[in-house]
Amino acid sequence: NAGVTQTPKFRVLKTGQSMTLLCAQDMNHEYMYWYRQDPGMGLRLIHYSVGEGTTAKGEVPDGYNVSRLKKQNFLLGLESAAPSQTSVYFCASSYSGLAGRSEQYFGPGTRLTVT
């Protein structure tokens, strides 16, 4: 199993450009998440999904959109990139939110720079 994979690994955008980050998992997990990691701030939840076709806002959703059209994929979109969105983005997945099945597995991350 590949686990959680993310594409691309690195990307440089200019202010105002758009892009989509792709997350894929092959563990048949129901729940998927997008986090951003900034120095000194830990990981912050952007959006999450509790199943195919569902999405919900996390702690810092502004400027991002997501879609979960297939159970194994979770896409994060930036419609008009801003320098404040320079960060490392991590995708994660978990079987469910229930006790004993809630471990989150993280992907390797995407480093995004917006100039």
Partner 1 sequence: GENVEQHPSTLSVQEGDSAVIKCTYSDSASNYFPWYKQELGKGPQLIIDIRSNVGEKKDQRIAVTLNKTAKHFSLHITETQPEDSAVYFCAASITGFQKLVFGTGTRLLVSP
- Amino acid residing at 69: L
The greatest distance separating any two alpha carbons of the chain, rounded to the nearest whole angstrom, comes to 43
Other C-beta atoms closer than 10 Å to the C-beta of 87 total 21
Q: Which of 54, 32, 57 has its CA nearest to residue 21?
A: 32
**Residues 9-48, interacting with partner 1 (CB under 8 A):** 31, 33, 40-45, 48
Task: In angstroms, give the least distance from the CB of 22 to partner 1.
Answer: 15
Report the distance separating Cα 44 and Cα 37, nearest Å: 7
Total residues in contact with partner 1, by rule CB under 8 A: 27
**Residues 65-104, interacting with partner 1 (CB under 8 A):** 90, 92, 94, 97-99, 102-104
Beta bridge partners of 81: none
Of 22 and 43, which CB lies nearer to partner 1 in the complex structure?
43
- The footprint of partner 1 (CB under 8 A) covers 4, 31, 33, 40-45, 48, 50, 58-59, 90, 92, 94, 97-99, 102-109
